[in-house]
Every structure is written in structure tokens, then in C-alpha cells.
Structure 1
Amino acid sequence: MTLKRCAIYTRKSTEEGLEQAFNSLDAQREACAAYILSQAHEGWEQVKDHYDDGGWSGGNMDRPGLKQLLADVAASKVDVIVVYKVDRLTRSLADFARIVDTLDKAGASFVSVTQAFNTTNSMGRLTLNVLLSFAQFEREVTSERIRDKVAASKKKGMWMGGPVPLGYRLGDRKLLIDEPEAEIIRSTFQRYRELRSVTKLVDELARQNVRTKVRQYGNGRTVGGVHFGRGSLSQLLQNPIYSGRVSYRGTLHDGEHEAIISAEEWHEVQQILAKNRHDRKLGKQSRYPSLLTGMIIDPDGRPMTPVSTHKDTRRHHYYVTRLAPGETKMPAWRVAAGEIDRAVLKSVGDWLRSHERACEPGQLMSDRELADELLRFAVPEQRKVLLELGVRAQLEQQSLRVTIGEDAMASVSLPLRMVHRGNELKLVLENGTWKAAPDPVLVKLVALAMSARKSLGSREVDPLTSHYSKRHLWQLLRISFLAPDIITAIMDGKQPPSLTGRRLLRVTDLPLDWAGQRRVLGFN
């Protein structure tokens, strides 16, 4: 006789009645234990471990008791699963198929003590599938009935449970105003209308030691009682409960509870919040707004986010790959923002000129006028134009692709390459696609070189170079003898990408003849 280790699994969808001395789980376990005892002559023996899921739905497999049971089956600790009814194990055909697969791999089986069927033949499997189909149908009908009840109740303005919001208390299953907390709500809404900033209001509430509502659950766990953050305060300001209404699927219905603030005050706050969201999207609230935030991705399809660094009086802006949690920094991209911004704006301007659309009522300027003025706009106005046109930019290995419109009605690919300038990886657009901005370091070196040459020639001290050492002045003097076309290229930003200020200063074998200079500095 082969020993068969039997595990009893019990489940109840709700927690109602579980606190009783003898509840539904106990009744299921007692029936299953009696069945196992009746099969003792077959070698059946009940394991000591209990696998219970009280208050868990049978619509999915995310249940602690079931997870532990299947883990023990896979570890060959259980040979037979015994349930009161098959719908206690699951109400989903798809989940049941996964459970059966786990049982088959472990050489285990299951038994329902109130439903006799034999799964070793086709008729038994058909009977089981019919039972599960009805179980799943029953669950879906029950869910639909509950959803319909919630919808009808909310349309009547009834409170349908959930965390009681700050400012209210629960009495006779209805929301009643808690006056001390309600005063906090009134003050919070009033101060937001005055400050018009969630961040400033968060700081003010923290100074006043205003905290979130303390809630205690049936299991003894306590939450809340902490200072407001931007997210929790934004949710509070958007909650229509405070205006005496309840929301259902985006529609507001008059509630049975009393309002703490007027509907007019609530609507005014929503308008301020919406305007702030719009301004934040355009970058109006940022000290250093970035043109392509939310519109640019790297060659691997990952979004890029703006960052900036500060050196002396200059601020340098970049787009860097936004890494996922745990992702290494090795494959990340980091490129200067200026070149990309100018290239995208020029591409959009060219498209507006070549696809000029008819002026719509209320439109202040034509597409051609917009293209001419686009580069003169402030960054928030430029972002507004790009967002309205649905502009997207993607870095590729050898190009920058700019698309316009949600359905990519226009697309242009700008050739580019990446070059190292010092420790920085810089994007360079090729083939004259876009005139690069002059390198400020090179321009400054040329200016200092001319100043040094003037000082050494006239022996008059120039304030620009008076603090430099003699060795550095001689390095600058060499630069002053560069060919005129090289100087012009530097001032126009058309020098070779490899020509950096550091390289120009450190070239010790710079020829005096102009052809040699072009060869050494990479102009040929």
C-alpha cells in the first residue's frame, strides 16, 4: 500500500464570519478530514500543515495559502489536494489549467469531496470543465451585480465605503462632518487659492504641523498621521467629496453628505491646478526650462531627461538617458542639448514653411510667420508649438530623426556623429544640415591670443592677459598667427569637431605656414 500525503485546502471569499469559533473554513476542513479518514485503507494520510485562504477571491491565484500549497506540491511534500468543492480551489478555467499542469509535473492529484468525477477519462474531464465554467460564470455575474449596485448607489450620492477622508467621520454608514478637521480643509483650500502652489502649501502645512488623517484597520495596523506630501495634498485638493458630491467614472453626482466648501471654491481650485499642470508641462515654472522634455528618446528607445551643470558663470544643459531602476549606467547616452534643440527647431520651421496650412479662426499668425518667429520665442512658447504639432525626436547611431504629428506625417533624418571634446561626448550635425554654435572656449582663446599679440608687440599691459604667465602668453601668441580662414571658421562655429580649446593650446608643433596649420588642425 502506497502512502499518499493529503493536504486540505479551504477558502472563503469574504472575511465575514471568520471571527466565529466554528466558521466556514472549519466546516470545509472537517468534511475533507472525514473523507481522508475514509480512504485510510488506500494509504491516505492528512498532513499537519493547514492551507487556508480566508477573505480571498477565487478569481485569481494571488492567494498566500494556495501559493504555499502549490510550492509544497512542487517540492514533493504533498501527493493529493483535498477540497470541499472544486470552486474552492479556483473559479477560473485558465487558473485551473495552470494548477493541473503543476500537479501533473509533480505526479500529484486533487479530490473534491462533494463532487464525484474521474479525470482519467474524457467524460470526467468534460464534467470538471462544465463545473468550472459554471463557477466562473457565477463569479462574473456576481461581480457585474456588485458593480451595478455600486454605480446605482453612487449616482444617488451614497457613500460606498473606503478610507474616510480628512474632515469627515463615519456615522450610520454616512459621512458626517468632523468640525475640527473640516476647519483644516477650509483653511487648506483657502490658502491654496492664495498661494497657487502645492509646494508652498506643503511647506506651510508642515510648519503648522498639519498631518494626514489617522486610520486604524481591523487588524490593528495604523496608517496616516504624517505630514502632507505633494501627491497626497494634490489628491485632497482634487477630491469632490469636499464640495458635497461623489465621483463615478468621471461624472460628479450630488452626495447625501454635507459639503465642507462650496462648489464654486472647489471649481476655482481645479482651474488653478489645471493651469499649473499646463504651465509645468510647458516649462513655465522651471527656472531653466528644457525644450524637448518628454519628446526625445535615445537610440535604444529609452526616454531622455534634461540635466544641467554649472561652471563659473556658465550653465551647460544636456539630455541624458533616464535609466530604469537597477539599470547600469554603461549604456546611457549623454549629449549637449543646444545642438539638438536648434536642429529640431530648424526642422520644424522648415516643415511649417513647406506645409503652410490655412489660417484658422483666432490664429494670430500664419505658419510661415510662426516659422520665422519660432527661434525668437522663449522656451515655454517653443514647447507649446512643438507639443501642439506632436513633435518627437529620436537619437540614432548616425542621425537625429525628427517626426511631426502623432501619425508621423512628416519625418526628417539629420546626419550626425558623436565626437569627444575633452571628457564630453558631443553631438555634431554634418553636411551643413545646421550651422553649429561657435565654441565659446575657442572664441575666447582667439580673443586672448589677439590681446597677447598686441601686448607683446607694444609692451603695453592688456587687462585681458595681464594675469597670465609668460609661458601661457607664448602659447596664446601661436594662436594669433593662425590662417585667416581658420580664425573665420572658429568664429562661425565651422571648425572640425575634433578641434577643442585644450588641443589648440597644447599643439606644440603648429606650423607657421597656413597649409601646414590646416593639415595639423584637421581642416583638410
Structure 2
Amino acid sequence: MVMRVALYIRVSTEEQAKEGHSIGAQQDRLLDYVRSQGWEVAEVYIDDGYSAKDLHRPAMQRLLKDCEQKKFDVLLIYRLDRMVRNVIDLYSVMEHLDKHSVMFKSATEVYDTTSAMGRFFITLVAAIAQWERENLGERVKMGMEKNFRKGGWNGGEPPYGYRLEDGKLVIHEPEAAIVKRIFELYKTKGQREISRIFNQEGLRTRNDALWAGYTVRYILENPVYMGKMRWMYRQGGGKKTNQEIMIDGDHESIISEEDFNAVAILTKKRLIYREKTNVCFPFTGILKCARCGSPLQGGEKKQKLQNYRFYRCSGRFAQGICDIPLIAEDTVEKLMLEQIDFIIDGSWQKEIDIINDNQVATESPDHIQLERELNEIQKRKKKWQLAFANDVINLDDLRIRMQEENEREEIVRAQLISEPFAEKPLSKLTKQDVMAFAKNIKESWYHLELEHKKVIMQTVFERIIIDTYGEAVGGPGRRVPCKIISFETN
């Protein structure tokens, strides 16, 4: 098979005048080389009047794109400095060519991936490029640490309450007043209550987002507000290092050190004395509020005879944007079992998909696991974006985390493509099977452990939209009438 070759030619006006490397001269030399090898010219890429300081050149970008589409088998240049002028760019181009199985050859030098010696030499150059990158990273880190030791700000979005002026943190009074208020309110109120108060007052974060408990917590735990700077607090993945260094910053504090430490002591006391509760709530993650769309989370209050278990809207208690009352767990159970009745008596028969007798391609366990991991990656991406919107992480942290998630996503998608579907027949599922399963749920529901109930709910339901109406009745732990607005099954 005849090798298809791409010719890359570059010259700047100054180089052409000084060195005589005209476009015509380079092209003639390259064509002579192609003829000597018996190759076939697929395309000629010419950057006329462009410097090689980087890869942002029209013909170079077109070449890299055509490489992805396999339009040629070999890239031929006159001399290496016609293509790149630093080892990092060389490594980048070599990596791109290798990824798409394109060889590389210089007509006048030993740069050549068509031979074993040439590939060894390119590998050596790549190693030098990696060393240069790592060395650059160490120098940047040393510079940042030096700046930190002086109490300076190392880039990224300034924390809430401050602005950057000439690279220094300067107090922004409107936000600083809210920071002071947070520390004052925390003496008598919790993080969620503070966020709820702010949201009800119409206050928003710097990015015009609603306040949340973790937004308040981040401010309460950040030593920057008492004039300190911390270094090596978290690793690249967001995990705490437990090896942080704290020094005095060169910025003005918003909170006194005494007040900041008093809040830290108060937080520890609240964690110690906080009531423990059974953390398993079967409908958490499934129930959604019909009024604001927020998830409902399980809670429990101690009573003399029996603890009162309930679900509360996070939009109301965490953000202060909703007014739906607490919903008793036994009320939710009753409504859910009524929905199960529709399956048992056959009312849902039109909505139940029955699998036919034909063999179908089913996903292997590995394939299912990869799909689940993709869903988890998407969820984590949304969480990082939400954390940034609420000033929990800065822009640099967001970029690092999104890059990590994108890299993992590429790996998972590649595995999904290579993972074959398992061809096997599925057992036939009849309407009677579904109805029998529903009947079994209802009969055994009140004998099941909470963990088993949760598994069943997550298996059957994707989402249940619920609302209340009328007045609550009864004594402590009063029940308010409810209705299921809509639901989605799995």
C-alpha cells in the first residue's frame, strides 16, 4: 500500500530573508524526498509568515484536525524548527500523531518515527518535555509558597467579603457586613437557619445564588476572616490533607481571632450534643416537594411512646423558599400503598410494558456498572458547579475538579464502547408477575426492616411528587392531609 504523506511548510518573512528557507525551496526538497521513498502526497500545509512560538497557526491547526480524520499516514517536514521551537509543543504534536497512528519524519534530521532508532529518539525528547513540565510545576509551586509565606493571595476568586486590588485582598464592606452578621447569628442559630433567614430577606450570594447551610459553614470555618492564610489545606481531589500551614496574612481581618475561635468551639459542642437518629429513611431521595421542587429529607423527633418520623422540605428548612409543612412518614407510607393497590387491581395494566418472547440484548453487569458510574460523574459535576455558585470553592478549584471528572468520563465512555452487550434471552414478565410483586410488597411492608423498605422504594419509584392540603390534626406529631401529585417508576 502506498504511504500517503502530508507536507508541512512554514516560514516567517524575517526567516525567509535571512536564511533562504523559502516556501518554494522547502517544497522542492520535500517533494524530492517523497519521490525517493515512493510515497504519495496527500496534502500540503503552508503557514506563510507565522512564527513557531506556539501551535496556533492556521495550517498547523488544519493539519492536526485532518490527522484525526486519518487523511494521511506520514507527516514530513523539512526541519524540526519549521514545525515547533520548544520540546513541549513537540511532545504535544508527537502525542497527537501517535494517538491517531500517524508517523513522523524530518527530511534533514534524525527525527523519525518510521524506524526503531527514530522512535527511541522521540521518546527521549518526550521524556525531556515531561521533565520540563514537572520542573515548571515545581517552580510555580515554589513561587506560590513564597508568596504565601509573605501572607499574599495565590490567585483564584477572592473569598466572600473581599475583593482583589493589585493582587491583595481588600475588604468589600457590603459583603463584610453579612460575614459579621453570620458570626453573630451563629451564637444562637444554626447554619441552615441562618441561610433560611437570608433567603427570606431576599439576600443572595455573590453569584446571585440562594444561601445554603454549607455556604454559611464555609464562611464560619475559613480563617481568612480573622486575618490568616492557610496553605496545603486540600489535595487536588478536594480531600483535606490534615497538614495545613497557617500564617498571618497581609490583609485586614473582618472577624477578631477571639470570635472566630469561639465559633469553632461552639461548633464542636453542637456536634457532641447533637441528637443521634436512625439515618435510614425509605423515601429520602425519592420524595420531591410539589411547591418548590426541592427534595424532602427524613427526620425524627423523640416522643414518650414512639418517635415521630417525618419528611421535611429542604427548600423550606435549608433555604427558606417554601412553606410546605412536615409530612409524617406513616402518611407517606399510606399514600404509597394506595398507589400499589392500583397495580394489584390491574388499573396500571396499560402502563406496564410486557417483554415479548424474542431474545433481546441485555447489558452485562460491567456495562451496567459503567453506566452507573457515568451517572455519578454527571451528579458530581453538578455538585461542583453548585459549590462554585455558592462560593464554596473558587474558580481554580472548579476547573481542577471538572477536568478530573471529564478525564474519568472519557475513560468510562471508552470502556462502554469496548464493552459488548451480552446476548441472552430474558425471562418473560407478565402482568400477573408485576401484580404479584406489588401484592407481596403490600403484605410484607410493615414487617420489613427500614433498609429493606428503602431498597424496595428505590427499585420501584424514581420520583414521587407530594403536596399537603387542609389543616394538621392531632396532638404532638400532628398529621397533615397529603396527596401524591405525580410519580415516576423505574
Q: TM-score, normalised by structure 2?
A: 0.44
RCO (CA 8 Å, sep 6+): is it higher in 1 or 2?
2
Q: TM-score, normalised by structure 1?
A: 0.41
Bigger CA radius of gyration:
1
- Hey, which of these two has a bigger chunk of helix by percent? 2
